[in-house]
Chain A
Amino acid sequence: MPTTIFRDGVRKLMEEGAQLVDVLPQEEYGQSHLPGAINIPLKELNRETAEQLRRDKPVIAYCHDYL
Chain B
Amino acid sequence: MSPRAAWRLEGLGFTEVYDYAPSKVDWFAAGLPMEGELASVPTVCDIARGDVPTCAPRENVGEANERIRGTGWDRFVVVNEERIVLGLLREKELASDPEATAEEAMRPGPTTVRPDTPAKKMAERMHKRGTASVLVTTPDGELVGLMYREDGEHAADEQA
Residues of chain B within 8 A (CB-CB) of A66 are 21-23, 25-26
Which positions in B face A, CB cutoff 8 Å?
1-10, 12-28, 30, 32-39
Contacts A7-B20, A10-B27, A62-B23 known; 9 new A-B pairs at CB < 8 A:
A1-B10, A13-B18, A33-B36, A34-B24, A34-B35, A50-B9, A57-B16, A59-B18, A63-B2
Give the bracket for the number of chain A residues in contact with chain B: 35 or more
A2 touches B38 (CB 8 A): no
A32 touches B37 (CB 8 A): yes
A32 touches B17 (CB 8 A): no
B5 touches A53 (CB 8 A): no
Cα distance A37–B36 in the bound complex, in angstroms = 11
Cα distance A46–B34 in the bound complex, in angstroms = 26
B22 touches A6 (CB 8 A): yes
Cα distance A46–B5 in the bound complex, in angstroms = 10
Indicate whether A45 sits within 8 Å of B8 (C-beta atoms), given known contacts A30-B37, A32-B34: yes
B37 touches A23 (CB 8 A): no
Instruction: Check A65 for interface membership: any CB of B closer than 8 A.
Output: yes
Residues of chain B within 8 A (CB-CB) of A30 are 36-37
